[in-house]
Amino acid sequence: MKKYTSLILLILWGCNSGNSLDADLANNNPKSFSIMLSPFFEEQSPRFDPNVLAYAKINQFNEDSLIWMPLPFNDIVHYFPKTASLLLKQRDCSFFLLRQVHENATVFYVPSTIEKQGALINRFSPKEKKEKNDKVCSSAQVKTYWGFLVKDCSNKLGDSLAINYEEYESSSWQCGDFIPFNTQEEWISPSIL
């Protein structure tokens, strides 16, 4: 009987110590696009193009400069530090950085189509709703700089790309609702996690 009790205690101890390891991994790793878009799964909302691998906060850049630019493989780590190590098997692909300026804390961008004819980027925003005293809800105007990492394994994308924007006002996201976008500084495509 002692032998079985010891075995059960050993198994339980192993399971508990594994939980803290899993929690550490979850806390130290970036989150998937699917977590960011989870509030919109009930809607027919745009999804990330499969060639978009990461979305991260980046250093401020000259807003008059190109927003679409080739990104050498060795420079990926400077913009996407948590994503870079996951791309070692894709060194033969070309990579691009698509830069965006966010001026509103409650909006974010989703490149839903990226092809040689151009890119379509959806600007997600909450549904505006009249509040008491006819005030339209608003968010903090904070300027932040973000970049998308785009892969091109077929070498179809060029050094320049036409960028088009389309508004996506969520039918379920109301002003003041929590959306996890700003909780992370780097988001990753589920395809490489």
Distance CA 171, CA 51 (A): 27
Mean pLDDT, residues 75-90: 94
Distance CA 39, CA 139 (A): 19
Mean pLDDT, residues 76-86: 95
pLDDT at 28 > cutoff 50 = no
Residue 95, class by beta-carbon neighbours within 10 Å (0-12 exposed, 13-18 middle, 19+ buried)?
buried
Q: For residues 164 and 123, is the Cβ–Cβ distance under 8 A?
A: no
In Å, the largest CA–CA distance within the chain is 75
Q: Could you tell me the pTM of the whole model?
A: 0.80
CA dihedral 163→167→170→175, nearest 10 degrees, is 110
Nearest to 56 by CA among 163, 189, 172: 189
- Model confidence over 148-182: pLDDT tens digits? 999 999 999 999 999 999 999 888 888 777 787 88
**Alpha-helical regions (H) of 29-168:** 33-37, 76-79, 81-84
The CA-CA-CA angle for residues 47, 77, 25, to 5°, reads 70
Q: Looking at residue 73, what is its pLDDT?
A: 96
pLDDT at 186 > cutoff 90 = yes
Q: Is 155 left (phi over 0), alpha (psi -120 to 50) or beta?
A: left
- Model confidence over 96-109: pLDDT tens digits? 999 999 888 778 99
Distance CA 193, CA 123 (A): 25
Nearest to 33 by CA among 141, 119, 122: 122
Q: For residues 95 and 70, is the Cβ–Cβ distance under 8 A?
A: yes
Q: Looking at residue 128, what is its pLDDT?
A: 67
